C-alpha cells in the first residue's frame, strides 16, 4: 500500500509570540495549601476578590522574549551618557537589558534614564508595534551563568499609556473619521439604490439587503459588552480536547488548559486522542506523565485524564466520549491547536449565570499572525468575525456558531442532543465536520447562546494557500448545511435577529451571481464600466480594515483590504462548488482516514497514467 504521512501537507514555519517562561510550569493555578495566590505574587493592591484588576496586572506584566537594539541615554554625576544595549525581554511595564558592567553600575546611580527602541511586529501582542522613546528607572542588575550583565528597568508609564499618547490618538482619530465617512458613503449609495429600484428590482434589492446586513452587524457589535466577572461564580468545568495528528501543538494546548486561574476542585481536563497516526500519542503521554510527577501539589492525578480511541472515529465521537467522562456541570471544547489564556475559563463561564444560557463562545485570535501575508489576512478576518459579527449576534443571545477553538456548553444539554449529533446526516451522507455549528443549532433551538469577548484563546491557522482553501471549502459546506437547518427555527427568535440571520444566509448564497452580473453581464451587454459596484466592494473592504484599526490598533489592518479582494476573487467561487459537494468528507487540513483515502486514490491515478 502507498505510504502517506502528515508531511504530505507541507507548511511554512510558523512565527509565534515568544513569552518568557515562568519558573513554575503551572504559574496561574492556585495551590491547595493556599500558600501562594495569583494576587499576592503579582503584588496587586486590593483584595483577592479583585479579579478584574488581577487580570489587568497579569497582562501588563506578561513578558516576551525579544532581541532589540536599545539606545540608552542617562545622566550620572551630572554627565550625559549615550550608549547601546540589547533588550532581551519586554513587558508593557519594563524591560531587561543586556549591558556592559560599567553601564549597569552607572544606571544604578543615574538620575535620569531614557530608552529608544522599536517594537517590531510579532514580538508583542498586536497593537504594540511602534517606535518607543520613553523614560525609565533602574530596578536591579545581575549576571547570568555566562558572565553577561543584565539590568532591569521599569518604564515611567506603561507601553499602553505611551501608545495612547504617542500613537493611538491619531490612529483612532483617522479610523473613527474613516468609519464615519465610509458609513455615510454606503448609506448614500443605498439611497441611490432606492431611487433607481424600479429599473432593476432584483439587483438593487440585493444591494440594499447586503448593506443593511453589514451595517447593522457593525452597529450592534458596537453595543456589545462582555459579562463582567463575578469572583464568587465558579461552576464546575470539564475541558475536553479532541486530538488527531497534532504532535506539534498538543503539549502546549494541554498545558494551557490545565494552567488556569480557577479553583482546583472545579476544573478537570480530558484529552481524547482519536487514534492519531503521527506522534501525538507519545507527546500526550509525555506531558501527562511530566505534569503528574512534577506538579503533584495541583492534584493532577484527579484533574488530568487521557484516553486513546481504539480506531479513528471522528472528532464528534472524541468530543462525545470526553463529555460522557466529564464530572462537572459545564463542558468546554478546545481544539488541539488552540492555546487558552490563563483567565479564559473564569471568563467563559460568566454568561451561565443566566439559567437559559445553553452555550458560550470565547474569542479566538490567531497565534501565528506574523508568519506571512496569508496569516495576517486571517488575523483581521478572525478578529472582525468574533468582535463584530459574533458580538452583534450575542446582543440578541443568538450566536449561530460556538466556535471549535473555545466553546462552553451545559453538559446536560450536550448529552441530551448527543445521539442526534453523532448520527447527523444530510442528504443521506453522515456529517463528519461542522461539529461546532451543528451542536450550536441543537442548543439554539430552545436556549440562548452568547459570546464572551474576554475569554480568549489563540489558534494556529493555515499558512499555505493550499491548506487554507481546503479549510475554507470545508467550512462553506458545513455553513451551508447548518444554515439551511437553522433556517427552520430562527424565525422564532427575536424578530430583528431573525431578519438579520436570513439576510446573512441570502447574501453569500446569491453573491456569486451578483458579481457575475455586475462584472461580466453589464459591461458586455451595456458597455458600462461597473464603477459603482467596484466602489461598493472597496467601501466594504475599508469598513473591515478601519474597524480593525479602531478596535485593535494593529498594523495588520491593511490586510483587511487584501482579504476582501481575495474573497471576491477566490473564496466567493467556492460557494457554488459547495452546493454540489455535500458528499465530501475530507478535512484538507489534516490527514483523516477520508483524506488518506483520497490521497491514495490520487497517487494511484498518477501511477496509472504514468
Amino acid 51: pLDDT: 78
Edge to edge, what strands does the sheet with 330-333 contain?
A: 304-308, 267-273, 237-243, 330-333, 407-410, 357-366, 448-459, 338-340
Amino acid 366: pLDDT: 96
| Architecture of the 63-157 domain | Roll (2.30)
CA 341, 125, 29: angle at the middle one, nearest 5? 25
Amino acid 145: pLDDT: 62
Sign of the CA dihedral 34, 329, 247, 11?
A: negative
The span from the CA of 559 to the CA of 581, in Å, is: 30
Domain layout of the chain by residue ranges: 23-58, 63-157
CA atoms in the 13 A half-sphere facing the CB of 551: 19
User: Which alpha helices (H) appear in 4-82, and where do they start and end?
Assistant: 38-41, 51-61
- C-alpha distances (whole Å) from 243 to each of 124, 279, 281, 342 are 29, 11, 9, 21
Q: Which three cell numbers stand for residue 203?
A: 439587483
Q: Which three cell numbers stand for residue 592?
A: 483523516
Give φ, ψ of 269 to 5 degrees: -125, 130
Low-confidence ranges of the chain (pLDDT < 70): 1-11, 32-49, 145, 196, 582-610
C-alpha closest to that of 284 among 252, 315, 239? 252
Amino acid 158: pLDDT: 92
- Does the model's pTM come out above 0.85? yes
Cβ 472 vs Cβ 422: under 8 Å: no
Amino acid 527: pLDDT: 86
Amino acid 154: pLDDT: 94
Q: Which three cell numbers stand for residue 594?
A: 477520508
C-alpha closest to that of 488 among 451, 448, 429, 444? 444
Amino acid at each position: 500500500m502507498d505510504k502517506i504521512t502528515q508531511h504530505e501537507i507541507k507548511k511554512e514555519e510558523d512565527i509565534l509570540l515568544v513569552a518568557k517562561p515562568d519558573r513554575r510550569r503551572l504559574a496561574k493555578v492556585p495551590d491547595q495549601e493556599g500558600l501562594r495566590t495569583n494576587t499576592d505574587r503579582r503584588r496587586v493592591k486590593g483584595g483577592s476578590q479583585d479579579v478584574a484588576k488581577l487580570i489587568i496586572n497579569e497582562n501588563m506584566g506578561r513578558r516576551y522574549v525579544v532581541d532589540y537594539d536599545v539606545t540608552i541615554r542617562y545622566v550620572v554625576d551630572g554627565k550625559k551618557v549615550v550608549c547601546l544595549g540589547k533588550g532581551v525581554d519586554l513587558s508593557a511595564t519594563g524591560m531587561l537589558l543586556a549591558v556592559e558592567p560599567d553601564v549597569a553600575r552607572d544606571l544604578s546611580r543615574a538620575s535620569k534614564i531614557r530608552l529608544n527602541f522599536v517594537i517590531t511586529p510579532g514580538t508583542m501582542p498586536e497593537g504594540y508595534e511602534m517606535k518607543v522613546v520613553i523614560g525609565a528607572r533602574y530596578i536591579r542588575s545581575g549576571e547570568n551563568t555566562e558572565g553577561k550583565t543584565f539590568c532591569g528597568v521599569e518604564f515611567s508609564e506603561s507601553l499602553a499609556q505611551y501608545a495612547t499618547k504617542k500613537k493611538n490618538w491619531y490612529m483612532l482619530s483617522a479610523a473613527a473619521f474613516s468609519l464615519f465617512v465610509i458609513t455615510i458613503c454606503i448609506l448614500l449609495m443605498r439611497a441611490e439604490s432606492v431611487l433607481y429600484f424600479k429599473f432593476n428590482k432584483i439587483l438593487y434589492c440585493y444591494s440594499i439587503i447586503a448593506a443593511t446586513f453589514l451595517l447593522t452587524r457593525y452597529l450592534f457589535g458596537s453595543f456589545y459588552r462582555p459579562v463582567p466577572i463575578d469572583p464568587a461564580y465558579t461552576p464546575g468545568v470539564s475541558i475536553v480536547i479532541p486530538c488527531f495528528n497534532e504532535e506539534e501543538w498538543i503539549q502546549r494546548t494541554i498545558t494551557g488548559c490545565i494552567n488556569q486561574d480557577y479553583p482546583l476542585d472545579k476544573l478537570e481536563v480530558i484529552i481524547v486522542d482519536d487514534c492519531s497516526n503521527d506522534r501525538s500519542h507519545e507527546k500526550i503521554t509525555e506531558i501527562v506523565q511530566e505534569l503528574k510527577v512534577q506538579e503533584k501539589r495541583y492534584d493532577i492525578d484527579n484533574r488530568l485524564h487521557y484516553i486513546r480511541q481504539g480506531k479513528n472515529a471522528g472528532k464528534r465521537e472524541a468530543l462525545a466520549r470526553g463529555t460522557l467522562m466529564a464530572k462537572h456541570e459545564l463542558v468546554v471544547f478546545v481544539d488541539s491547536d488552540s492555546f487558552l489564556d490563563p483567565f479564559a475559563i473564569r471568563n467563559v463561564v460568566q454568561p451561565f449565570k443566566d439559567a437559559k444560557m445553553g452555550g458560550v463562545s470565547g474569542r479566538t485570535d490567531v497565534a501565528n499572525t506574523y508568519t506571512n501575508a496569508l496569516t495576517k489576512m486571517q488575523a483581521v478576518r478572525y478578529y472582525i468575525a468574533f468582535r463584530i459579527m459574533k458580538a452583534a449576534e450575542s446582543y440578541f443571545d443568538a450566536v449561530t456558531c460556538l466556535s471549535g477553538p473555545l466553546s462552553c456548553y451545559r453538559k446536560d444539554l450536550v448529552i441530551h442532543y448527543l445521539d442526534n449529533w453523532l448520527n447527523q446526516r444530510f442528504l443521506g451522507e453522515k456529517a463528519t465536520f461542522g461539529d461546532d455549528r451543528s451542536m450550536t443549532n441543537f442548543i439554539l433551538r430552545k436556549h440562548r447562546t452568547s459570546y464572551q469577548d474576554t475569554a480568549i484563546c489563540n489558534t494556529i491557522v493555515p499558512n499555505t494557500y493550499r491548506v487554507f482553501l481546503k479549510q475554507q471549502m470545508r467550512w462553506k459546506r458545513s455553513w451551508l448545511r447548518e444554515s439551511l437547518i437553522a433556517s427552520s427555527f430562527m424565525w422564532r427568535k427575536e424578530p430583528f435577529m431573525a431578519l438579520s440571520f436570513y439576510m446573512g444566509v441570502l447574501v453569500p448564497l446569491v453573491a456569486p451571481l451578483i458579481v457575475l452580473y455586475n462584472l461580466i453581464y453589464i459591461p458586455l451587454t451595456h458597455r458600462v464600466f461597473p464603477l459603482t459596484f467596484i466602489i461598493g466592494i472597496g467601501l466594504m473592504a475599508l469598513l473591515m480594515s478601519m474597524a480593525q484599526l479602531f478596535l485593535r490598533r494593529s498594523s495588520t489592518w491593511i490586510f483587511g483590504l487584501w482579504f476582501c479582494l481575495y474573497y471576491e476573487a477566490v473564496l466567493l467561487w467556492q460557494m457554488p462548488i459547495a452546493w454540489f459537494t455535500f458528499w465530501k468528507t475530507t478535512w484538507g487540513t489534516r490527514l483523516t482516514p477520508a483524506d488518506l483515502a483520497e490521497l491514495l486514490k490520487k497517487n494511484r491515478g498518477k501511477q496509472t497514467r504514468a
